[in-house]
Amino acid sequence: MEAAAAEPGNLAGVRHIILVLSGKGGVGKSTISTELALALHHAGKKVGILDVDLCGPSIPRMLGAQGRAVHQCDRGWAPVFLDREQSISLMSVGFLLEKPDEAVVWRGPKKNALIKQFVSDVAWGELDFLVVDTPPGTSDEHMATVEALRPYQPLGALVVTTPQAVSVGDVRRELTFCRKTGLRVMGIVENMSGFTCPHCAECISVFSRGGGEELARLAGVPFLGSVPLDPELTRSLEEGHDFIQEFPGSPAFAALSSIAQKILDTTPMCLP
């Protein structure tokens, strides 16, 4: 471990690493990863996204990057750059599949080996933030990701839940996982937290409300915010558009921008 810390290799230029976790599937973890990365990017930061949700690599579609190719460079794999300035980049197993609907039918050791290769062999260059989108649960892939990144001192974990009691209960186990692995919890985000009517602006609690905030209070960790359901956000993700840039008047935009700003405000060093 000391040797890895002394030779950071392709992560040498990455200032901060954030793992996005959830206790269960279907809570919008990849949505939060994508929009957090875009919000940090529009705040002037250089951002990379590492998609290690190997069985459900949806981020290439969410960012309009499906079908793009990963190329070799002298330091390993070059990530896929999403803008001309090369200030936001992505690496995903989705780029390595011959067909976008091809299933990843791998046993644990092969998955863990690819995660370690993603950590060591992707040439990110200089980044302010690397956002790591993990699969749901507390599986082998989580352990492989945390252990591979531990020498590089991740900033912490952002944990995503929805308001329902079932989801909150699963996220409580995710917090236990963080404690057992020594991963600092940066905060909890409650996703799908109500629906704001586009006609009258009234917020309807479709899946109840407040479960994430109450869990954060009981666990003694920060509550970063609630993101409402938003048809424009869903459409942007399905079509690969930049929601943060295109819908600044949306309630979801305000929530996501606030979450990104809280992360920037608590980052333990001044970024350029």
134 vs 21: CA distance, rounded Å: 6
5 falls within a domain: no
pLDDT of residue 6: 39
For residue 3, pLDDT beyond 60: no
User: What's the average model confidence in pLDDT over 186-202?
Assistant: 84
pLDDT of residue 105: 67
Kind and range of the H or E element at 64? none
For residue 271, pLDDT beyond 90: no
CB distance 221 to 193 below 8 Å? no
Q: What are 135's two structure tokens?
A: 């699969």
33 falls within a domain: yes
43 vs 17: CA distance, rounded Å: 17
3-state secondary structure of 231: helix
Determine the residue type at 144. Answer: A
Domain housing 160: 14-266
Residues annotated within the binding site are 23-30, 197, 200
Q: What is the mean pLDDT of the chain?
A: 87
**236 pLDDT tier (thresholds 50, 70, 90):** very high
32 falls within a domain: yes
Q: What are 137's two structure tokens?
A: 């649960």
17 vs 156: CA distance, rounded Å: 7
Looking at the structure of the chain, the number of domains it has is 1
CB distance 247 to 232 below 8 Å? yes
User: What's the average model confidence in pLDDT over 164-173?
Assistant: 80
Residues annotated within the binding site for ATP are 23-30
**163 pLDDT tier (thresholds 50, 70, 90):** confident
Residues annotated within the binding site for [4Fe-4S] cluster are 197, 200
Backbone φ and ψ for 81, nearest 5 degrees, come out as -90, 140
For residue 270, pLDDT beyond 70: no
**pLDDT one-digit tens code per residue, 76-104:** 899 999 999 999 999 998 888 776 666 66
What percent of the chain stands above pLDDT 70? Answer: 92
148 falls within a domain: yes
pLDDT of residue 221: 94
140 falls within a domain: yes
User: What's the average model confidence in pLDDT over 110-135?
Assistant: 91
**pLDDT one-digit tens code per residue, 133-147:** 998 777 778 888 988
Which has the higher per-residue pLDDT, 271 or 156?
156
Q: For residue 220, what is the domain's CATH number?
A: 3.40.50.300
7 falls within a domain: no
Closest CA to 264 of 95, 157, 128, 144: 128
CB distance 128 to 117 below 8 Å? no
168 falls within a domain: yes
**pLDDT one-digit tens code per residue, 14-67:** 999 999 998 777 888 999 999 999 999 999 999 999 999 887 788 999 999 988
2 falls within a domain: no
For residue 162, pLDDT beyond 60: yes
